[in-house]
Amino acid sequence: MAVPRNSLRGFLTQARGALRAAVDSSQKITFVIGNESADLDSMTCSVLYAYIRSMAPPRNAFTPLYVPITNIPSSGIQLRPEFLALFKHANIESRHLITLDDLPDLSVIKSKLPPENTRWIIVDHNALQGQLGKIYSDRVGGVIDHHEDEGRVPEDTGSEPRIIEKAGSCCSLVTGYCRQAWDTLSGSATSYGAAHAQGDTLSDDGAVVKLWDAEVAQLGLASILIDTANLQSEEKTTEHDRKAVEYLEAKIMSCPQLSASFHRNEFYEEIDTAKKDIGGLKLQDILRKDYKEWNENGRKLGISSVVKSIDFLQQKAGDEANTQPVDDALLEALRRFASDRELDMYAVMTTSTSSEGEFQRELLVWAFNETAISAAKSFAQDAHDELGLEDWHASGVKAHGHDGEGHWRQVWWQRNVQHSRKRVAPLLREAMT
C-alpha cells in the first residue's frame, strides 16, 4: 500500500518514524542512500527517489515506504551551506533530513537492523562503501548512478532500477525514472491531510499538491543546475539533464504560489554562491565537506573536492596555524587529515575561477608509503595526457617532494577541466590495483 500523498516535510517525518519502528520492532525497511561525500546531488537523489517511490511503490516492493539516508552525521549538514540555502525552497529544515546519526550505532546495528530485514537502493554511486557496505552490500537491490559501473550491483534488480548512465547530475536520471509515477500522482491531485500539512494553508487539494510538487522539484533542480553549471557546461550537460530541468521547471511554473517569483538563473546563483561560501569553515571541515574514500587491495585512497584554489587553502591554513609559514601549515594540515584516516594515498582536487574568468582545476596527490608511491607515479604517467596535467608553479606550497620518510607528493594544474572526480578517482584507483 502506497504512502498517502504528503508534503516533503511530512514525508520525512513519517520516514523517520518508520526507521524508528524498524529498529525498535525488527520490521522490514527499505533505504535509499547516496555516496559518502553526501554532496547536493547525493542528498537530493535519495530524497526525491524515496519521496516519489513511497507514494507510488511497485506492486512487489520490499516495503511500501522508502527511507532516504543522507550519508553523513547530522553535524555535516552545517558544512554544506548550499543545503541550508535550498531547504527553505523545499519547506524543510536541517532537522528533517535523516542522517547516519539516525541509524543505530555500528556496534549494534546488525542486531538492531538485521541485514535480511533491509533492502538498499543506492543513488549517485554503484557500490555501497564504508562500514555500511561491509554489512549490507549483499542487500543492495537497485541503483541509479552516473559513475563508472563497478559491477557490484546484480544485473537483475527485479522491480527496482539498475540504471548506470552518463549524465551531468545523477538527479537527472532519478527524475527521468520517477517521471511517469510522479505525473500520475500529480494528475490524480489526491492529498492526505492537505488542510493540516505543516506550512500549507491552502484549502484546495489540487493547489496544495502543486505546491508540494514545486517544493520537491526545486530540490532536484538545484543539484542538476549546480552539477552542469546551469546547463552551460558542454562537457557535463547531457540530454538527460536538459529534459530533467525542463520537467522540473514545469512543476514549479504550474504552482501559482511560486511561478511568479521563480527565475532559474537567480535560483542557480543563490545555490552556487552558498556552495562556495566556505570561508567561515575550518580547514579540516573544508577537506571533509566533499570527501570520498575507497579501499583498493587493502590500500586506502581518499579524495577531497574543494570549491576554492590551493592559494585559498594555503591562506586558510596559515591563518589557523598563526605561527608557521603558510606553505608548511597547509602541508601539515593535509598530512594530519590523511593520517587521521590512515590513508595510503590522498588527493585534493580544487576548482576555482582565474583572474581572467576562466574555470580551472588543480590536483594534489600525496602518497605515504612505497606501494602508494609506485601507484602515484603510475597514475602521473598514465593519466598525464588525458587529464592535461601540467606542472604547478604557483607560489607557496611545495609542488613536489620525495622525502626520507617514504612520502611522495605532486601538484599539477589539470588543464582538461572537464574531468571531475568521477574520472580522476577511477584513474587513481586503477593505479592502486
CATH superfamily for 283-432 is DHHA2 domain (3.10.310.20)
Predicted local distance difference test score (pLDDT) of residue 406: 83
Predicted local distance difference test score (pLDDT) of residue 201: 43
Helix (H) or strand (E) holding 366: strand 359-367
Angle at 244 (CA atoms; ends 16, 120), nearest 5 degrees: 35
Predicted local distance difference test score (pLDDT) of residue 3: 82
Q: Looking at 8-92, which runs of residues are DSSP E strands?
A: 29-33, 66-69
- The CATH fold of domain 8-272: inorganic pyrophosphatase (n-terminal core) (3.90.1640)
Rounded to two decimals, the pTM is: 0.88
Quick one: DSSP state of residue 153?
Answer: S
Predicted local distance difference test score (pLDDT) of residue 2: 75
Predicted local distance difference test score (pLDDT) of residue 355: 87
Walk along the chain (433 residues) and give the pLDDT tens digit of each residue: 678 889 999 999 999 999 999 999 999 999 999 999 999 999 999 999 999 999 999 999 999 999 999 999 999 999 999 999 999 999 999 999 999 999 999 999 999 999 999 999 999 999 999 899 999 999 999 999 999 999 999 999 999 999 999 999 999 999 999 999 999 998 865 444 443 444 444 445 688 999 999 999 999 999 999 999 999 999 899 999 999 999 999 999 999 999 999 999 999 999 999 999 999 999 999 999 999 999 988 899 999 999 999 999 999 999 998 866 777 899 999 999 999 999 999 999 999 998 888 999 999 999 999 999 999 999 999 999 999 999 987 544 555 555 556 899 999 999 999 999 999 999 999 999 8
Q: Where in the chain is the domain with CATH 3.10.310.20?
A: 283-432
Predicted local distance difference test score (pLDDT) of residue 398: 55
Predicted local distance difference test score (pLDDT) of residue 191: 42
Predicted local distance difference test score (pLDDT) of residue 202: 43
Q: 193 with 10: CB under 8 angstroms?
A: yes
Predicted local distance difference test score (pLDDT) of residue 101: 97
- Per the listing, cell 500520475 goes with 184
Q: Where in the chain is the domain with CATH 3.90.1640.10?
A: 8-272
Q: What does the H/E/C string look like for 230-278?
A: CCCCCCCCCHHHHHHHHHHHHHHHCCHHHHCCCCHHHHHHHHHHHHHCC
Predicted local distance difference test score (pLDDT) of residue 199: 45
Predicted local distance difference test score (pLDDT) of residue 403: 53
Q: 421 with 292: CB under 8 angstroms?
A: yes
Question: Collapsing DSSP states into helix, strand and coil, what is residue 117?
Answer: helix
Beta partners for residue 414, in sequence order: 389
Quick one: DSSP state of residue 82?
Answer: H
Distance in angstroms (rounded) separating the CA atoms of residues 412 and 408: 14
Predicted local distance difference test score (pLDDT) of residue 203: 44
